[in-house]
């Protein structure tokens, strides 16, 4: 059926949502990865993560089809971007009661689909139930998508679905990956790009610990993540996401969904509220000069199983982080000038150096080298900080903790 047009305001070819007053305080004047990190701090603070089992009920608030087949009135039909036919009647439809686990054909029920595959983060909370990128989709298409990335497909097509989305071999420009991708219809490419970019901001500090591309066999390595906290994705993949973001601007459906999720989860997708931030963060021209090395590396405290390292910052203005090396092997990354290295062995010596890296991911020379000797037994204990309470129905409740950074 026809697409229902809801009242919108066009600004520079993008529709902009309205965030609560003061929500993005502190972002004025920021660009690049400094802006990305500030947005991470904002959308990671004081939000509520619900249980995975609660999502189907929440879809009645976030994902009803009021925009295509059913109009702005009351409806219980879910909007499935994997099967929605924007220019005609859908082949099948679901309500939130039609949740199934597996399917041998399209049209039998829906799954909760992780736009970033849950294998990326080992199905851990809070990623596992984040409404901003966990969406209702046809179960069969979800299964066949597997953990293949989104992308542009070539003429080697493995499956074509009822709304003409497909699984084909990758034709992402300048991307070495040539295995299968799932290509959505054009109507929702921008939606998906903004979901993935939200993920890159919300979980910035966790990205280096996720399962990402190792480049051991890049032609079949499915993850477009590159292991960095800042850029997040392979440069060629970022280019595709930016293209999708521009060609399919923010829609009223995304604005409404962002507002509904904020009411439930208490955080927002900043790229729906401020689409211009996508280019402000990821369209940069870094210099070709490696940064200066950090200075005065030392250990401020050690125990049997950990040491606290600290150093003076690099004097280069474009430094965005520091890589910590243990006997020449990268063991940690931080934006700070101190870090706790744990999981060490008592009564053992460990050599450490630190390198600064800049926006182009050029690394400085090594800092001064130090050798830290762990003690035979711990006399100091470290505090446990509870940083997330996960609320669910019934007994579905959990705590998330960490030593330093928020998720």
Q: Give the separation between CA 364 and CA 291, rounded to whole angstroms.
A: 5
For 350-394, how does the pLDDT look when each residue is reduced to its tens digit (9 = 90+)? 999 999 999 999 999 999 999 999 999 987 655 554 545 555 545
Question: Which letter does DSSP use for residue 140 in this model?
Answer: H
Which architecture does CATH list for 295-373?
Sandwich (2.60)
Residue % of the chain over a pLDDT of 90: 81
pLDDT at 1: 42
Of 37-41, 220-224, 387-391, the range with the lowest mean pLDDT is 387-391
The three-point CA angle 175-181-184 to 5° equals: 115
Report whether 14 contacts 249 (CB < 8 A).
yes
Cα 207–chain centre separation: 8
Answer with the residue of higher pLDDT: 298 or 391: 298
User: Where is 110: in which H helix or E strand?
Assistant: strand 110-114
Transcribe 53-104 into DSSP letters: GGHHHHHHHH-B--SSSS-SS----B--TTT--TTS--S----GGGB-S--S
Would the pLDDT of 404 be above 60?
A: no
Sequence-distant (6+) residues with CB within 8 A of 178 are 169, 170, 219, 220
For 176-213, how does the pLDDT look when each residue is reduced to its tens digit (9 = 90+)? 999 999 999 999 999 999 999 999 999 999 999 998 88
How far is residue 76 from each of residues 18, 51, 98, 135, 393, measured CA to CA in Å?
Answer: 26, 22, 11, 16, 22
pLDDT, mean over the chain: 90
Q: Give the separation between CA 223 and CA 212, rounded to whole angstroms.
A: 5
Cα 283–chain centre separation: 18
Would the pLDDT of 54 be above 60?
A: yes
What tokens were used for 390?
């996960």
Would the pLDDT of 35 be above 90?
A: yes
CB atoms within 10 A of CB 241: 24
In the numeric block, the tokens 């006399």 are attached to: 379
Of 201, 183, 203, the C-alpha closest to 248 is: 183
What tokens were used for 315?
């004097």
pLDDT interval class at 107 (50, 70, 90): very high
pLDDT at 9: 32
Report whether 43 contacts 133 (CB < 8 A).
no
Q: Give the separation between CA 132 and CA 195, rounded to whole angstroms.
A: 6
Mean pLDDT of 302-316: 96
Mean pLDDT of 158-176: 97
pLDDT at 390: 57
For 272-290, how does the pLDDT look when each residue is reduced to its tens digit (9 = 90+)? 999 999 999 999 888 899 9
pLDDT interval class at 403 (50, 70, 90): very low
Report whether 16 contacts 355 (CB < 8 A).
no
Mean pLDDT of 45-62: 95
Q: Give the separation between CA 339 and CA 97, rounded to whole angstroms.
A: 47
pLDDT interval class at 2 (50, 70, 90): very low
Would the pLDDT of 13 be above 50?
A: no
pLDDT at 46: 86
In the numeric block, the tokens 């399962």 are attached to: 211
pLDDT at 323: 95
Mean pLDDT of 133-156: 97
Answer with the residue of higher pLDDT: 8 or 304: 304
Give backbone dihedrals phi and psi of 355, rounded to 5 degrees, phi first: -125, 140
Locate the domains of the chain by residue range: 10-282, 295-373
Would the pLDDT of 74 be above 90?
A: no
Q: Give the separation between CA 325 and CA 342, rounded to whole angstroms.
A: 13
Of 216, 217, 215, 362, the C-alpha closest to 225 is: 215
pLDDT interval class at 73 (50, 70, 90): confident
């Amino acid at each position: 059926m026809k697409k229902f047009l809801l009242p919108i305001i066009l600004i520079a070819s993008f529709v902009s949502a309205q965030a609560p007053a003061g929500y993005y305080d502190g972002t004025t004047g920021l660009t690049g990865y400094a802006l990305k990190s500030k947005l991470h701090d904002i959308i990671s603070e004081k939000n509520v993560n619900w249980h995975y089992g609660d999502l189907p009920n929440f879809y009645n608030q976030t994902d009803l089809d009021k925009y295509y087949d059913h109009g702005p009135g009351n409806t219980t039909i879910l909007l499935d971007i994997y099967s929605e036919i924007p220019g005609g009647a859908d082949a099948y439809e679901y309500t939130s009661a039609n949740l199934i686990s597996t399917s041998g054909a399209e049209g039998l029920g829906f799954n909760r689909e992780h736009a970033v595959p849950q294998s990326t983060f080992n199905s851990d909370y809070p990623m596992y139930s984040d409404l901003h990128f966990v969406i209702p989709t046809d179960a069969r298409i979800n299964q066949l998508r597997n953990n293949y990335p989104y992308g542009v497909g070539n003429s080697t097509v493995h499956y074509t679905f009822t709304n003409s989305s497909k699984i084909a071999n990758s034709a992402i420009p300048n991307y070495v990956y040539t295995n299968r991708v799932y290509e959505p219809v054009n109507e929702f490419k921008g939606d998906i790009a903004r979901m993935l970019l939200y993920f890159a901001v919300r979980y910035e500090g966790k990205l280096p610990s996720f399962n990402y591309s190792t480049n051991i066999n890049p032609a079949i390595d499915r993850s477009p993540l590159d292991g960095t906290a800042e850029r997040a994705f392979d440069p060629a993949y970022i280019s595709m996401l930016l293209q999708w973001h521009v060609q399919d601007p923010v829609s009223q459906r995304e604005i409404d969904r962002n507002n509904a999720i904020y009411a439930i989860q208490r955080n927002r997708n900043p790229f729906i509220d401020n689409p211009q931030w996508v280019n402000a963060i990821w369209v940069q021209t870094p210099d070709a000069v490696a940064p200066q090395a950090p200075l005065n590396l030392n250990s401020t405290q050690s125990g049997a199983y950990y040491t606290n390292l600290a150093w003076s910052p690099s004097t280069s203005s474009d430094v965005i982080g520091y890589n910590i090396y243990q006997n020449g092997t990268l063991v940690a990354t931080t934006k700070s000038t101190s870090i706790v290295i744990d999981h060490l062995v008592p009564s053992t010596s460990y050599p450490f150096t630190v390198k600064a890296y800049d926006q182009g991911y050029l690394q400085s020379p090594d800092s001064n080298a130090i050798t830290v000797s762990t003690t035979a037994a711990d006399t100091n204990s470290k505090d446990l900080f509870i940083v997330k309470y996960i609320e669910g129905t019934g007994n579905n409740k959990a705590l998330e903790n960490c030593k330093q950074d928020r998720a």
